[in-house]
Amino acid sequence: MADTESDPLSPTPRPQGSLARAERFVWLTARVLEQHLFAHHFRGGAAGPVEAALDAYRNEDGGYGHALEPDLRGPVSQPLHTARALRVLDAVGRCGGRRAEDVCRYLTSVSTPDGALPGVRPSQRGYPAAPFVPVVDDPPGELLATGPVVGLLHRNGVWHAWLFRATDFCWRTVESLETTHPYEVQAAVTFLDHAPDRPRAEAAAERLGRLVREQRLAVLDPDDLDAYPVAPGYAPGEHHFPHDYAQTPHSLARTWFTDEETTRSLNHLAADQQGDGGWPIPWHQWAPAPTLEARPMVTINALHTLRAYDRPLT
């Protein structure tokens, strides 16, 4: 009988423990970018390979394309791709310098007169995109696209003329929200967590948290999902939980939920790891490649959140 340690064709035993199983999933399914991100965050890998992998998605206009955000296919730069790029750069401590200047130059060129970013620009037309991502001729600026970008640039101490207008747009929009939905709330939280005016951010976050609870936008009891509505246009069962808003215990959104509610949320997140080691995608799945590319991102985010709350990753 062949020795499994010396025979390369022999099946290897599946790893045990949440982190080990997630690592196997990443190596089986992830793009090079997410492989390097996983290695950087959980195996002591350097930041350089992550930055080099991200460069493959960068365009000459300073923006990013090439399906960096998997639901938008094609080479053209889009604000949603650039927001994803900033999250990667922030995660490895490389969100500054000339690269940030190039990004801000691109953002300036595609923003609306009030400094806001549209989610998708008309240049996407002709390339595949998720059916829930509308492509229109004159797209409006959205908090969904603008908030995360502005928040991360502030977090990294980036200052640019465009940021003044964009920051004003975020304040006006966040402070006037009445009816909202989970992804818009997440965008608002990213902005508020890093906005320079901390007293104003805390006041806006308190108001936003009341909206989240009043409109039942967070599942507070994972054993009673039917009691919480799914936002219009979302996939069946596309619920959001306290940990989706307060992804770290230091987020302003953490104060929206009790310790018991947060514990139930994190227990649900930990239990949601699938048999293949990855976490599931909650939103609409419309093509095989975007699904395959997004699951490692979701998996790394889940691990990040669990680790931020000191949950053991074995």
**Each residue's pLDDT tens digit, 214-249:** 999 999 999 999 999 999 999 999 999 999 999 999
Residue 68 is which amino acid? L
φ and ψ at residue 285, rounded to 5 degrees? -110, 120
What's the mean pLDDT in 8-17? Answer: 62
Question: Tell me, what DSSP letter sits at residue 57?
Answer: T
DSSP string covering 231-259: PTTSPTT----HHHH-SSTTSGGGGGS-H
What is the predicted pLDDT for the residue at 6?
Answer: 41
Residue ranges of E strands in the chain: none
Alpha-carbon separation of residue 229 from 54, 179, 213, 269, 272 (angstroms): 37, 14, 12, 19, 20
Q: What is the pLDDT of residue 14?
A: 67
pLDDT in tens, 81-111: 999 999 999 999 999 888 899 999 999 999 9
The mean pLDDT of 58-69, rounded to a whole number, is 97
Amino acid type, 156 = N
Q: What is the pLDDT of residue 12?
A: 58
DSSP code for 112: -
**pLDDT averaged over every residue in the chain:** 94
Question: What three-state secondary structure class fits 58?
Answer: strand
List, in order, residues 6 or more apart from 23 with CB less than 8 Å away.
15, 38, 42, 43, 277
Under DSSP, the state recorded for 155 is: H
pLDDT classification of 37: cutoffs 50, 70, 90: very high
- Positive or negative, the CA dihedral 119, 108, 293, 300 is negative
Distances (CA, A) of 78 to 82, 127, 258: 6, 12, 38
Question: Confidence band (pLDDT; 50, 70, 90) for 295?
Answer: very high
Rounded to an integer, what distance in angstroms lies between the CA atom of residue 160 and that of residue 287?
38
Phi and psi dihedrals of 142, rounded to 5? -135, 145
Task: State the pLDDT confidence band at 314, using cuts at 50, 70 and 90.
Answer: confident
Interval 42-62 mean pLDDT: 97
User: pLDDT digit string (tens) for 138-196?
Assistant: 999 999 999 999 999 999 999 999 999 999 999 999 999 999 999 999 999 999 999 99
Q: How far apart are CA 278 and CA 26, in angstroms?
A: 8
- Per-residue pLDDT of 244-292, as tens digits, reads 999 999 999 999 999 999 999 999 999 999 999 999 999 999 999 999 9
Q: Please, which pLDDT band fits residue 13 given cuts at 50, 70 and 90?
A: low
Stronger pLDDT, 112 or 4, i.e. the higher one: 112
* Residue 155 contacts residue 194 (beta carbons within 8 Å): yes
At a CB cut-off of 8 Å and minimum separation 6, what does 312 contact?
A: none
3-class SS at 130? coil
Give percent of the chain with pLDDT exceeding 90: 92
Confidence of residue 11 (pLDDT cuts 50, 70, 90): low
- pLDDT of 161 reads 94
- Whether residue 15 is predicted with pLDDT greater than 90 in this model: the reply is no
Question: Are 52 and 68 spatial neighbours (Cβ–Cβ below 8 Å)?
Answer: no
61 pLDDT tier (thresholds 50, 70, 90): very high
